[in-house]
Structure formats: structure tokens, C-alpha cells
Amino acid sequence: MESPHGLQASLHLARRMASLEPSATLAMAAKASLMAASGIPVIDLSVGEPDFPTPGHICQAAEAAIRAGKTKYTPAAGIPELRKAVAADYSRRTGLTVTPAQVVVSCGAKHALHNVCVSLLDEGDEVIVPAPYWVSYAELIKLSGAIPVLLETRIEDDFKLRPEALRAALTPRTRMLLLCSPSNPTGVVYSGDELRALADCAIEANLAVVADEIYDQLVFDGRQAVSFPTLRPGLEERTVVVAGVSKTYSMTGWRIGWTISPEPLAKAMGNLQSQETSNPCSVSQHAAVAALTGPQECVAEMCRAFQSRRDLVVRKLTAIPGVRLPQIGGAFYAFFDIRQALARSAAGGGTVLGPTTSAQWCEALLEREHVALVAGSAFGTEGHVRMSFAAAEDKLTEGLARIARFLA
Ligand code: PMP
Ligand code: GLU
């Protein structure tokens, strides 16, 4: 007998898998690359992945690690050099004192987030996540048995969560607040005051806070991203900072991310990793040490490139009638409003039915203009789409021209 998934009854999927969605960003990127492989001139602005090569000195450190035989299991929570480098880098940039024992190195920040959810959340706990949110948050929370409480924010507020909205969403089951600044998918950066107001709510309600700060060094116009635990004394006791090398050093494929948390939680997550993955890739860990302790000019250079691409994208998108977007202060995403275009195709329905949802709109854009974006619905906010501008300017210019033509 077959289950609804086409599996024999003996292999029926566990209940926790029933509602698990695949990552929409990775799915769109895979689709675009299949089209490209079949000779279609696709402009892929779907996945958030810097287009720069990993800087040479980082690759050389990995080669040296291989030659030196550093190719064996490592301690589950990461090699001491890397935990020390993460702690030193974070302490230097924030002024807080963090020890290597508070750092757990994982197979990417995505894995770090999974560790946090599994280690802190019980069945039925509620986690407040402002929407639009990065695609994996809701799924990782659900996998741990908890409930993502998705709070819509408004483009008029630059998609920032307001403290009143947070307070109104609290219930006796609320355990955690998950924040991402600079934000994927909106590129919005919270100010210190805005975050402090949210921190005060978190303290009042005794919430754990997960601060996804993976884009903290990719900020524009002289901004400084504020690290959440610096906002009030004692906040580090309830906060887990998540970050990694994927975005800052263009190292997405190396799979190194980490958490910075109070030591007892770090110990628990290290134990979890010792059972689940043993350790993150040994060679990549040595590369990450070189990234954090080596020259930092590469980061500034990539950031300058992202800022100038941001300028281009904002200029071209805001020139299209009806398109709106929030103020992009960091990361490499433009999350723009296409509700007018969707309303037009809904109203014009009958003859040629146009797309009426962001997913249909992205499908149609890919089919007709061969540009890959990701639907806002995947980030919990219908009526919008996300464009990654981690792509070369000529690709962006061509992609934007095609988007403008499609919207016209
Ligand atoms: N958090 C956010 C907000 C992201 O955009 C990403 C990118 N995939 C991640 C976490 C995970 O990054 P990685 O697993 O590549 O370290
Ligand atoms: N963070 C990137 C994105 O949002 C990478 C894809 C993923 O990990 O889902 O596109």
C-alpha cells in the first residue's frame, strides 16, 4: 500500500515531515541553473550568494591545512583556534567580552539555527518571527516541535517590528524572539534605539532572543550594525547571536557558521553536534580562521561593490511606476512591492489571465523574461518579490531592464 508521498507504508514519512517545505531560495536557484544548462539565457537573481570568489589567502590556508594533514575529526564544537578567533573578532567589534567556550562552530549558520531551536524549544512553544522572514526560520522552528508566530510588518515601517506589535503577540507560551538585522529578505537595518525597544519587551516577557547577525558587516552609507546583546546590560544572558563566514567572506560552500551564547547552552549545542555531525568540516574551519584573522580589506571591497549595486537597483526599481521598496541599509536584497501589478492582472482577468500571486508572478517572469527572483510568499509576505543583488552590475542592469519590461 502506498502513502500520499508515493512511499510504501513501511516507509511512511514521519509527521514532522508532512508540512516541511523545501528551501524556496535554493529551489528557485536550482530551477534557474537547470534552465541555464539547457541553453536559456537566464539571469539568476534568486539565491543570496556573493558572486565574488573566496579571497585567495583564505583558499591558501585551506590548501595548507590539507597538506598539513588537518583532515581528521575535530572537537565537536570546533577547533580551539576558530572558537578563539570568533570570540576575539566579536569582542573586538562589539566591546563585549566573549570567551571561546561560548562559541559553537557549525556547518553553516543554518545548522547553527537548527541547533538553537532544537536545544531551546519544546513542543508547543511559540517563537515570534517578524515577517517577511528568511525562508528557513519557520521550517526550522516547526522541525523542533515549536510554533512560529509570524508577525506581519508594514513596508511603511520599513518592515521593522514595532514593540507594540511584539507586546500584543505575547502569550504564556511565547519563548523566543527571532530577529534578523541587517535583514534577509528586506535589507533593512534596525537602529540601536529600535532594537533597544524590542530588547526591553524581551526582558519584560523573559524571552530568549536569537539575533541572526550574519550580514552584520555588509552595511552601507557608513552604518554600523548594532549587535543585540550590546543594547542593555545582561542581555547576553538571554541572547544567542548567529553568524558565519558565508556572506562576509564569500564562503557559502565552505559551510561554516556559529553561535555565540551563554556557556551552558554552548555546551548543550556542542553535545548535540557531537551526536549529529561530529564536527564541521576540518579544512573549512582552518579556512575560516584565516578569514577572521587575516587581512580584512576584502570585506570592505565586497561591501563597496554591494553598496554601488544597491544604488543601481534602487534607482532602477523606484523608476518603475507602482514599485515600492523599503530603505536598504545592508545585506544584498531588494524586497519590492508588486501589488499594483498583481491587482492589474486580477482586474484584467478574463481574456489573458495574468499572475495574481507573487509565486505566479515569479514563474511568469522566469518563463517570459528568464529572470529568476523569489516570491514574497516564501518569506511570509505576499504581494512582494525578492531580488538578490549579489550579482555583477551588467547582469543586474539586464535583469532590471527585463523586470521593467515585464511590469510594463
Ligand atoms: N541566516 C540568514 C539570514 C541567511 O540569509 C542565511 C543564508 N543562507 C543563513 C542564515 C545561513 O547561512 P549559511 O548556512 O550559509 O551560513
Ligand atoms: N541565504 C540565502 C538566500 O536566502 C541562501 C539560500 C538558503 O540558504 O536558503 O538566498
pLDDT tens profile 22-65: 888 888 999 999 999 999 999 999 999 999 999 999 999 999 99
Ligand 2 atom at minimal distance to the Cα of residue 374: 10
What cell was used for 405?
519590461
Are 77 and 270 within 8 A, CB to CB?
Answer: yes
Q: Give the three-state DSSP class for 205.
A: coil
Q: How far apart are CA 261 and CA 257, in angstroms?
A: 13
pLDDT single digits (tens) 250-289: 999 999 999 999 999 999 999 999 999 999 999 999 999 9
Q: Which residue has the higher pLDDT, 307 or 9?
A: 307
Q: Which residue has the higher pLDDT, 225 or 150?
A: 150
Task: Give CA angle at 392 (391, 398), nearest 5°.
Answer: 95
Q: How far apart are CA 390 and CA 283, in angstroms?
A: 26
Out of 49, 180, 218, 246, mutate this one to test ligand 2's pocket (max ligand atoms within 8 Å of CB): namely 49
Q: How far apart are CA 251 and CA 19, in angstroms?
A: 30
What cell was used for 240?
544567542
Are 244 and 105 within 8 A, CB to CB?
Answer: no
* Distance from residue 276's CA to the centre of ligand 1 (Å): 19
Ligand 1 atom at minimal distance to the Cα of residue 180: 3
Q: How far apart are CA 408 and CA 404, in angstroms?
A: 6
Using alpha carbons, list the distances in angstroms from residue 284 to 52, 59, 65, 71, 72.
18, 9, 9, 10, 12
Closest ligand to Cα 137: 1
pLDDT band at 350 (very low <50, low <70, confident <90, very high): very low
- Domain spanning 56-293, CATH class: alpha beta
Out of 23, 26, 106, 110, mutate this one to test ligand 1's pocket (max ligand atoms within 8 Å of CB): namely 110
Are 40 and 383 within 8 A, CB to CB?
Answer: no
Q: Give the three-state DSSP class for 232.
A: coil
Amino acid 353: pLDDT:
67
* Distance from residue 49's CA to the centre of ligand 1 (Å): 9
Are 240 and 210 within 8 A, CB to CB?
Answer: yes
Q: Whose CA is nearest to atom 2 of ligand 2?
A: 48
Backbone phi and psi for residue 70, each to the nearest 5 degrees, phi listed first: -85, 60
Q: Whose CA is nearest to atom 1 of ligand 2?
A: 48
* Distance from residue 8's CA to the centre of ligand 1 (Å): 35
* Distance from residue 116's CA to the centre of ligand 2 (Å): 18
With a 6 Å cutoff on the Cβ, whether 214 touches ligand 1 is: yes
Other C-beta atoms lying within 10 Å of the C-beta of residue 199: 25
With a 6 Å cutoff on the Cβ, whether 160 touches ligand 1 is: no
Task: Average the pLDDT over 204-212 and give the result.
Answer: 98
- Domain spanning 17-47+298-407, CATH class: alpha beta
pLDDT band at 10 (very low <50, low <70, confident <90, very high): confident
With a 6 Å cutoff on the Cβ, whether 29 touches ligand 1 is: no
Are 129 and 105 within 8 A, CB to CB?
Answer: no
* Distance from residue 1's CA to the centre of ligand 1 (Å): 39
Are 34 and 28 within 8 A, CB to CB?
Answer: no
Give the dihedral of Cα atoms 289, 116, 224, 216; nearest 10 deg: 50
pLDDT above 70 as % of the chain: 98
pLDDT single digits (tens) 96-142: 999 999 999 999 999 999 999 999 999 999 999 999 999 999 999 99
Ligand 2 atom at minimal distance to the Cα of residue 252: 5
Amino acid 45: pLDDT:
97
* Distance from residue 187's CA to the centre of ligand 1 (Å): 14
Domain ranges of the chain: 17-47+298-407, 56-293
Task: Average the pLDDT over 168-193 and give the result.
Answer: 98
Q: Do the domains at 17-47+298-407 and 56-293 have one common CATH topology?
A: no
* Distance from residue 134's CA to the centre of ligand 1 (Å): 8
E strands of 132-173, at which residues? 147-152
